[in-house]
Amino acid sequence: MHAQIALWLKAASKGSTLAIVNVASVCGEAAFCGPAYTTSKWGEIGFSKQAASHYAGKGIRVNVLAPGPVNTPMLRGGLAEDDPRWLARKFIIEKSVPMGRIAEPWEMAGPVTFLSSDASSYVTGVVVTADGGMVNH
């Protein structure tokens, strides 16, 4: 990210602001997943917070979206939405989410849009968790 930011800084006009939103996972905030995945997401969050602090004075904001379970091929493990194995797994996942359901991909657009917009012009170094309440449960 540092090399890319250097290029952006060089190309940016004076006074412009850049917003970076890294997408991690709720697994970076609580140990819901395996050790390698959890560690990588903790690292991504830590790196983003460090970058936010380092680049804030240069007009660059860095934030993180940490989604919980989202209905994607990755979550389904490549299984079709009507596959009985996926339906059994989905039932278990939904029971672990206080809102009782898995998010749809479009539901992640709102937090990313906010973090990318001028409405969050004083927000940097934060993790927005969109997990249906899993971390707080």
Q: What is the DSSP string of 13-57?
A: PTT--EEEEEE--GGGTS--S-HHHHHHHHHHHHHHHHHHHHHGG
Mean pLDDT computed over every residue of the chain: 89
Give pLDDT, residue 94. 96
Token representation of residue 5: 């930011």
Residue 90 covered by a domain: no
Terminal Cα-to-Cα distance of the chain (whole angstroms):
33
Distances (CA, A) of 33 to 24, 30, 105, 129: 13, 8, 20, 16
The pLDDT of residue 15 is above 80:
no
Share of residues in the chain with pLDDT > 70 (%): 91
CA-based nearest residue to 63, from 107, 22, 119: 22
Residue 27 covered by a domain: yes
Domain limits for position 119: 17-70+105-130
Which tens digit of pLDDT belongs to each residue from 105-119?
999 999 999 999 999
Residue 53 covered by a domain: yes
The strand order across the sheet containing 127-130 reads 18-23, 60-67, 127-130
pLDDT band for position 28 (cuts 50, 70, 90): confident
Which whole number is the average pLDDT over 68-72? 95
Residues across the chain: 137
Residue 26 covered by a domain: yes
The tally of domains found in the chain comes to: 1
Give pLDDT, residue 27. 81
The model's pTM is 0.86
Residue 81 covered by a domain: no
Q: What is the spatial distance between Cα 118 and Cα 25, in angstroms, rounded to a whole number? A: 24
By the 8 A CB rule, do 59 and 121 touch?
Answer: no
Active site residues: 37
Sort residue 100 into left (φ over 0), alpha (ψ -120 to 50) or beta. Answer: left
Q: What is the CATH number of the domain that holds 120?
A: 3.40.50.720
Give pLDDT, residue 30. 79
pLDDT band for position 10 (cuts 50, 70, 90): low
How, if at all, do strands 60-67 and 18-23 pair? parallel
Give pLDDT, residue 6. 73
